[in-house]
Amino acid sequence: MSNPVHTTAPATTEVTVWSLEQTSPDDLRPAAVPEGDVRIVRSEIPLPEFSRFLYTAVGGDIRWTDRLGMTYAQWQEALDRPGAETWVAYANGTPAGYIELDPQDEGAVEIMYFGLIPAFRGRRIGGHLLSFGAARAWDLAERWPERTPTKRVWLHTCSKDGPHAMDNYLRRGFRLFDTKVELEPEVATPGPWPGSGR
């Protein structure tokens, strides 16, 4: 007689996911430009090391985990998609946060990732970065002529995000179009890419 095998189900967390959109560039309500030396620059060289730094620095304390298991090659593939753009906010020359744009079919552009490194939150940089990034989503086809002109800009946010995230989206003119509750597995941070030094 064999001994029964006892398995423990992985721990999960209930997460509320909200989807928001703009359907016209006229929907965008820009935030005021913050004081001081704040610049937003496109990262034109698709570099997994830099992208992963931004992802973990911005999302570490709010449990961004969906990309942590990606290999170096998978990360490079994501960055190399035609029309994919990363715009980085710098405060006095230091990376403060970023917004990543993902062009999709039929003129949709998703704001895949957006946020600030914790040390830069609360300085009015987030509204400015979101305003700038949404504007770049609307004019993305001007830089990528092979892409369909943008007809819709959309994003997800969730209950893991910071307490001011939803308010920022609504103030910038995004409208809620869907809400759902998901169960997400608890994932431990795996550290650097599995395998070799990459």
DSSP string, 26-71: GG--PPPPPSSSEEEEE--S--HHHHHHHHHHHHGGGT--TTTT--
Q: What is the pLDDT of residue 7?
A: 55
Looking at residue 72, which CATH number applies to its domain?
A: 3.40.630.30
Q: What is the pLDDT of residue 65?
A: 83
Q: What is the pLDDT of residue 187?
A: 63
Q: What is the dihedral of CA 19, 28, 127, 150, to 10 degrees?
A: 60
* CA–CA distance, 49 with 193 (Å, rounded to integer): 10
Q: What is the dihedral of CA 87, 58, 45, 24, to 10 degrees?
A: -30
Of the CA atoms within 13 Å of residue 130, those in its CB half-sphere come to 28
Within a domain: 1:
no
* CA–CA distance, 109 with 35 (Å, rounded to integer): 29
Kindly calculate the radius of gyration of the chain based on its CA atoms and give it in whole angstroms.
Answer: 18
Spatial contact of 152 and 23, defined as CB atoms under 8 Å apart: yes
Spatial contact of 158 and 18, defined as CB atoms under 8 Å apart: yes
Residue 95 CB: number of other CB atoms within 10 A?
19
Per the rule left: phi > 0, alpha: psi between -120 and 50, beta: everything else, 177 is alpha
- DSSP E strands in the chain: the ranges are 12-22, 38-42, 85-91, 94-103, 108-116, 152-158, 175-185
Spatial contact of 30 and 133, defined as CB atoms under 8 Å apart: no
**Domain count along the chain:** 1
Within a domain: 198:
no
Within a domain: 3:
no
Within a domain: 31:
yes
Q: What is the pLDDT of residue 197?
A: 45
Q: What is the reported pTM?
A: 0.87
Domain that holds residue 60: 12-185
- Walk along the chain (198 residues) in steps of 10 and give the mean pLDDT of each run: 55 89 98 95 96 92 85 95 97 98 96 95 95 98 96 92 87 96 71 47
Within a domain: 150:
yes
Within a domain: 6:
no
